[in-house]
Amino acid sequence: DIQMTQSPSSLSASVGDRVTITCRASQSTSGNLNWYQQKPGKAPNVLIYSASTLHGGVPSRFSGSGSGTDFTLTISDLQPEDFATYYCQQSYTFPITFGQGTRLEIK
Amino acid sequence: EVQLVESGGGLVQPGGSLRLSCAASGFTFSSYWMSWVRQAPGKGLEWVANIKEDGSEKYYVDSVKGRLTISRDNAKNSLSLQMNSLRAEDAAVYYCVGIRFGETINHWYFDLWGRGTLVTVSS
Protein backbone atom coordinates (compact mmCIF):
# COMPACT_ATOMS: atom_id res chain seq x y z
CA ASP A 1 0.00 0.00 0.00
CA ILE A 2 1.13 3.57 -0.65
CA GLN A 3 1.31 5.52 2.62
CA MET A 4 0.57 9.23 2.37
CA THR A 5 2.11 11.49 5.00
CA GLN A 6 1.12 15.14 5.31
CA SER A 7 2.96 17.83 7.19
CA PRO A 8 2.24 19.67 9.24
CA SER A 9 -0.76 18.02 10.91
CA SER A 10 -1.99 21.44 11.98
CA LEU A 11 -1.10 24.97 11.09
CA SER A 12 -2.05 28.42 12.39
CA ALA A 13 -2.00 31.34 10.00
CA SER A 14 -3.51 34.76 9.46
CA VAL A 15 -5.68 36.17 6.72
CA GLY A 16 -3.41 37.29 3.90
CA ASP A 17 -0.65 34.77 4.70
CA ARG A 18 0.84 32.27 2.29
CA VAL A 19 0.90 28.67 3.52
CA THR A 20 2.32 25.43 2.17
CA ILE A 21 1.21 21.91 3.03
CA THR A 22 3.40 18.98 2.10
CA CYS A 23 2.37 15.45 1.16
CA ARG A 24 4.88 12.65 0.83
CA ALA A 25 4.07 9.25 -0.66
CA SER A 26 5.89 6.07 0.35
CA GLN A 27 6.41 5.32 -3.35
CA SER A 28 5.89 7.14 -6.62
CA THR A 29 2.31 8.00 -7.56
CA SER A 30 3.24 9.07 -11.10
CA GLY A 31 1.53 12.39 -10.55
CA ASN A 32 -1.77 10.80 -9.52
CA LEU A 33 -2.12 13.10 -6.53
CA ASN A 34 -5.20 15.08 -5.56
CA TRP A 35 -5.94 17.67 -2.88
CA TYR A 36 -9.26 18.17 -1.07
CA GLN A 37 -10.64 20.77 1.31
CA GLN A 38 -13.12 19.80 4.00
CA LYS A 39 -15.03 22.12 6.30
CA PRO A 40 -16.67 20.90 9.55
CA GLY A 41 -19.83 18.89 8.93
CA LYS A 42 -19.43 19.01 5.15
CA ALA A 43 -18.24 16.65 2.47
CA PRO A 44 -14.79 17.27 0.99
CA ASN A 45 -14.32 19.23 -2.24
CA VAL A 46 -11.54 18.68 -4.74
CA LEU A 47 -9.14 21.59 -5.19
CA ILE A 48 -6.29 20.18 -7.27
CA TYR A 49 -6.02 17.00 -9.32
CA SER A 50 -3.12 15.37 -11.14
CA ALA A 51 -0.79 17.18 -8.73
CA SER A 52 -1.11 20.63 -10.29
CA THR A 53 -4.38 21.05 -12.21
CA LEU A 54 -6.79 23.46 -10.60
CA HIS A 55 -10.34 22.10 -10.49
CA GLY A 56 -12.99 24.26 -12.10
CA GLY A 57 -14.31 27.02 -9.87
CA VAL A 58 -11.42 26.83 -7.40
CA PRO A 59 -9.77 30.21 -6.75
CA SER A 60 -6.36 30.74 -8.31
CA ARG A 61 -4.78 31.38 -4.90
CA PHE A 62 -4.67 27.58 -4.59
CA SER A 63 -1.85 25.83 -6.42
CA GLY A 64 -0.27 22.41 -6.42
CA SER A 65 3.11 21.14 -7.44
CA GLY A 66 5.35 18.14 -7.18
CA SER A 67 6.11 14.82 -8.76
CA GLY A 68 7.21 11.33 -7.84
CA THR A 69 6.75 11.13 -4.09
CA ASP A 70 6.76 14.76 -2.94
CA PHE A 71 3.91 17.19 -3.44
CA THR A 72 2.85 20.56 -2.09
CA LEU A 73 -0.36 22.53 -1.82
CA THR A 74 0.14 26.27 -1.57
CA ILE A 75 -2.50 28.78 -0.61
CA SER A 76 -1.51 32.38 -1.20
CA ASP A 77 -3.34 35.33 0.32
CA LEU A 78 -5.35 33.27 2.80
CA GLN A 79 -9.02 34.16 3.01
CA PRO A 80 -11.37 33.52 5.96
CA GLU A 81 -13.14 30.76 4.02
CA ASP A 82 -9.87 28.85 3.58
CA PHE A 83 -9.65 27.79 7.20
CA ALA A 84 -10.47 24.10 6.94
CA THR A 85 -8.84 20.67 6.84
CA TYR A 86 -6.89 19.63 3.75
CA TYR A 87 -6.22 16.10 2.53
CA CYS A 88 -3.98 14.69 -0.16
CA GLN A 89 -4.95 11.44 -1.89
CA GLN A 90 -3.26 9.14 -4.36
CA SER A 91 -5.26 7.54 -7.17
CA TYR A 92 -2.31 5.68 -8.71
CA THR A 93 -3.01 2.26 -7.34
CA PHE A 94 -5.39 0.33 -5.11
CA PRO A 95 -5.93 0.63 -2.25
CA ILE A 96 -6.59 4.32 -2.68
CA THR A 97 -5.08 6.19 0.25
CA PHE A 98 -5.42 9.62 1.84
CA GLY A 99 -3.05 11.62 3.96
CA GLN A 100 -4.05 12.08 7.59
CA GLY A 101 -5.11 15.66 7.00
CA THR A 102 -3.79 19.14 7.81
CA ARG A 103 -5.97 21.38 9.92
CA LEU A 104 -5.54 25.04 9.01
CA GLU A 105 -6.62 27.33 11.81
CA ILE A 106 -6.86 31.07 12.25
CA LYS A 107 -4.04 32.59 14.28
CA GLU B 1 -28.20 20.12 -10.44
CA VAL B 2 -25.93 17.20 -9.59
CA GLN B 3 -27.11 15.36 -6.49
CA LEU B 4 -26.01 12.30 -4.58
CA VAL B 5 -28.26 11.47 -1.65
CA GLU B 6 -27.28 8.71 0.75
CA SER B 7 -29.69 6.83 2.99
CA GLY B 8 -29.82 3.74 5.14
CA GLY B 9 -27.45 4.69 7.93
CA GLY B 10 -28.29 4.11 11.56
CA LEU B 11 -27.44 2.20 14.72
CA VAL B 12 -26.54 -1.47 14.37
CA GLN B 13 -25.09 -4.00 16.78
CA PRO B 14 -21.65 -5.52 16.21
CA GLY B 15 -22.04 -8.45 13.83
CA GLY B 16 -25.16 -6.95 12.32
CA SER B 17 -25.97 -5.83 8.78
CA LEU B 18 -26.99 -2.63 7.09
CA ARG B 19 -27.57 -1.60 3.49
CA LEU B 20 -26.66 1.89 2.36
CA SER B 21 -28.16 3.42 -0.75
CA CYS B 22 -27.26 6.43 -2.84
CA ALA B 23 -29.67 8.08 -5.26
CA ALA B 24 -27.99 9.94 -8.11
CA SER B 25 -29.48 12.68 -10.25
CA GLY B 26 -28.40 15.55 -12.50
CA PHE B 27 -25.70 13.62 -14.35
CA THR B 28 -25.31 10.50 -16.47
CA PHE B 29 -24.85 8.03 -13.64
CA SER B 30 -24.13 5.07 -15.93
CA SER B 31 -21.05 6.87 -17.30
CA TYR B 32 -19.35 7.27 -13.93
CA TRP B 33 -17.17 5.07 -11.81
CA MET B 34 -18.54 5.38 -8.28
CA SER B 35 -17.06 5.03 -4.80
CA TRP B 36 -17.82 4.84 -1.14
CA VAL B 37 -15.52 6.86 1.12
CA ARG B 38 -15.94 6.90 4.90
CA GLN B 39 -14.90 9.08 7.78
CA ALA B 40 -14.95 7.96 11.39
CA PRO B 41 -15.99 10.65 13.89
CA GLY B 42 -13.18 13.16 14.30
CA LYS B 43 -10.91 11.19 11.96
CA GLY B 44 -9.62 11.40 8.41
CA LEU B 45 -10.96 10.11 5.12
CA GLU B 46 -10.78 6.42 4.20
CA TRP B 47 -11.55 4.96 0.79
CA VAL B 48 -13.81 1.91 1.00
CA ALA B 49 -14.68 0.68 -2.51
CA ASN B 50 -14.89 1.53 -6.20
CA ILE B 51 -17.17 0.17 -8.92
CA LYS B 52 -16.83 0.58 -12.66
CA GLU B 53 -19.52 2.19 -14.80
CA ASP B 54 -21.08 -1.15 -15.77
CA GLY B 55 -20.39 -2.90 -12.46
CA SER B 56 -17.89 -5.30 -14.04
CA GLU B 57 -14.98 -4.24 -11.83
CA LYS B 58 -14.99 -3.70 -8.07
CA TYR B 59 -12.17 -2.84 -5.70
CA TYR B 60 -12.13 -2.79 -1.90
CA VAL B 61 -9.88 -1.76 0.94
CA ASP B 62 -8.57 -4.91 2.64
CA SER B 63 -10.32 -4.23 5.95
CA VAL B 64 -13.79 -4.62 4.38
CA LYS B 65 -13.19 -7.42 1.88
CA GLY B 66 -15.68 -10.24 2.34
CA ARG B 67 -17.95 -8.12 4.55
CA LEU B 68 -18.94 -5.05 2.50
CA THR B 69 -20.20 -5.28 -1.08
CA ILE B 70 -20.59 -2.40 -3.51
CA SER B 71 -23.18 -2.65 -6.28
CA ARG B 72 -25.11 -0.41 -8.64
CA ASP B 73 -28.33 -0.31 -10.64
CA ASN B 74 -27.86 1.98 -13.60
CA ALA B 75 -31.54 1.70 -14.57
CA LYS B 76 -32.42 3.24 -11.20
CA ASN B 77 -29.42 5.60 -10.95
CA SER B 78 -28.58 3.96 -7.66
CA LEU B 79 -25.44 2.89 -5.81
CA SER B 80 -25.51 0.52 -2.82
CA LEU B 81 -23.23 -0.77 -0.10
CA GLN B 82 -24.27 -3.99 1.62
CA MET B 83 -22.58 -4.12 5.00
CA ASN B 84 -22.40 -7.45 6.85
CA SER B 85 -20.56 -8.59 9.99
CA LEU B 86 -20.19 -5.00 11.08
CA ARG B 87 -17.48 -4.04 13.55
CA ALA B 88 -16.99 -1.06 15.82
CA GLU B 89 -14.30 0.21 13.44
CA ASP B 90 -16.84 0.43 10.62
CA ALA B 91 -18.64 3.26 12.43
CA ALA B 92 -18.35 6.36 10.26
CA VAL B 93 -20.08 8.77 7.94
CA TYR B 94 -20.28 7.04 4.57
CA TYR B 95 -20.06 9.24 1.49
CA CYS B 96 -21.27 8.25 -1.97
CA VAL B 97 -18.79 9.70 -4.46
CA GLY B 98 -18.61 10.05 -8.22
CA ILE B 99 -15.24 9.77 -9.93
CA ARG B 100 -14.04 12.03 -12.70
CA PHE B 101 -11.10 11.35 -14.97
CA GLY B 102 -8.46 13.95 -15.72
CA GLU B 103 -6.57 14.44 -18.93
CA THR B 104 -5.78 10.75 -19.15
CA ILE B 105 -7.67 7.67 -18.03
CA ASN B 106 -4.89 6.97 -15.53
CA HIS B 107 -5.58 10.18 -13.65
CA TRP B 108 -8.81 10.40 -11.70
CA TYR B 109 -10.20 12.02 -8.59
CA PHE B 110 -13.24 12.09 -6.32
CA ASP B 111 -15.43 14.81 -7.81
CA LEU B 112 -19.11 14.44 -6.86
CA TRP B 113 -19.87 13.98 -3.17
CA GLY B 114 -23.08 13.31 -1.28
CA ARG B 115 -23.70 14.67 2.20
CA GLY B 116 -23.07 11.30 3.81
CA THR B 117 -25.00 8.93 6.05
CA LEU B 118 -23.89 8.00 9.56
CA VAL B 119 -23.38 4.38 10.57
CA THR B 120 -23.04 3.67 14.29
CA VAL B 121 -21.95 0.23 15.46
CA SER B 122 -22.62 -0.35 19.12
CA SER B 123 -24.32 -2.76 21.49
Q: What is the pLDDT of residue B20?
A: 98
Q: What is the pLDDT of residue A5?
A: 98
Residues of A with CB under 8 A from a CB of B: 30-32, 34, 36, 38, 42-46, 49-50, 53, 55, 87, 89, 91, 94-101
Question: Low-confidence residues of chain B, pLDDT below 50?
Answer: none
A10-13 and A102-106 beta bridge pairing: parallel
DSSP letter (8 states) at residue B33: -
**Contact state of A91 with B108 under an 8 Å Cβ cutoff:** yes
Residue pair B15/B123 in contact by the 8 Å Cβ criterion: no
Residue from A37, A50, A55 whose CB has the most chain B CBs within 10 Å, to mutate? A50
Q: What is the pLDDT of residue B104?
A: 78
Q: Give the integer Cα–Cα distance in Å for B111 and A95.
A: 18
Give the Å distances, CA to CA, from A39 to A5, A22, A81, A85, B97.
20, 19, 9, 6, 17
Q: What is the pLDDT of residue B106?
A: 80
Q: What is the pLDDT of residue B97?
A: 98
Write out pLDDT tens, residues A33-82: 999 999 999 999 999 999 999 999 999 999 999 999 999 999 999 999 99
CA distance B97 to chain A (A): 10
Q: What is the pLDDT of residue B103?
A: 81
Q: What is the pLDDT of residue B61?
A: 98
**Contact state of B50 with A50 under an 8 Å Cβ cutoff:** no
Write out pLDDT tens, residues A4-35: 999 999 999 999 999 999 999 999 999 999 99
Q: Give the integer Cα–Cα distance in Å for A73 and A87.
A: 10
Give the Å distances, CA to CA, from B82 to A32, A45, B117.
29, 26, 14
Write out pLDDT tens, residues B53-87: 999 999 999 999 999 999 999 999 999 999 999 99
Chain B environment of A55 (Cβ under 8 Å): 109, 111
